[in-house]
Amino acid sequence: MKNSAVQLTIRNVPRRLNVALRQKAAQEQSSINSAAIEAMERGLGLSDEPVRYRDLDFLAGTWIEDPEFDKAVAAQRKIEPQMWK
């Protein structure tokens, strides 16, 4: 099967998606078409580049009990009544 490009028309694009695509294209100094294709490839898992997550999921399940840390935190949690008057 020959790998040929096709043309698509996408209607009813939500305003926030339109804005985001235009911002991405401007940021990368590329066309809106290129930005849209890249976004679709990434969204469908077809991109050669790995997805770069910007959350803290990689920390989940990594907590290590540390009594010294617990002591330090306990000292910070003491309420000083004179400070609240």
Query: Is residue 69 in some structural domain?
Result: yes
Query: Is residue 1 in some structural domain?
Result: no
> What does the pLDDT profile of the chain (85 residues) look like in tens digits?
456 889 999 999 999 999 999 999 999 999 999 999 999 998 898 988 777 777 888 888 898 999 999 999 998 888 888 888 7
Query: Is residue 9 in some structural domain?
Result: no
Number of structural domains (the chain) is 1
Query: Is residue 5 in some structural domain?
Result: no
Q: Is the pTM of this model over 0.85?
A: no
**Residue 58's pLDDT is what?**
82
Give the Cα separation of 16 and 30 in Å (integer): 19
Buried b (16+ CB within 10 A) or exposed e, 28-66: eeeeeeebbebeeeeeeeeeeeeeeeeeeeeeeeeeeee
Query: Is residue 36 in some structural domain?
Result: yes
**Residue 2's pLDDT is what?**
59
Query: Is residue 55 in some structural domain?
Result: yes
**Residue 57's pLDDT is what?**
82
Query: Is residue 6 in some structural domain?
Result: no
Look up the domain containing 21 and give its range. Answer: 15-84
